[in-house]
Structure 1
Amino acid sequence: MTKYDFQKESKIPYLECAGYKTLIRLRKRRFRCKVCGKIAVAETSLVKKNHQIATIVNQKITQKLIEKVPMTAIAESLSVSTSTVIRKLKEFKFKTDLSFLPTHMSWDEYSFKKGKMSFIAQDFDSRKIVVILDGRTQVTIRNHFLRYSSQVRSR
Structure 2
Amino acid sequence: MSHFEITTVVAAPPRQVFDACLDVEAHTRSMASSREHAVDGVTQGKLALGEMVTFQARHFGLTWRLTARITSWDPPHSFVDEQEAGPFQYWRHAHHFAPHGQGGTLMTDVIDFASPLGPLGRLADATVLNRYMPRLIRSRNAYLAATL
- Of structures 1 and 2, the larger Rg is shown by 1
Q: TM-score, normalised by structure 1?
A: 0.24
Q: TM-score, normalised by structure 2?
A: 0.25
Q: Which has the higher helix share?
A: 2
Relative contact order, higher structure (CA 8 A, sep 6+): 2
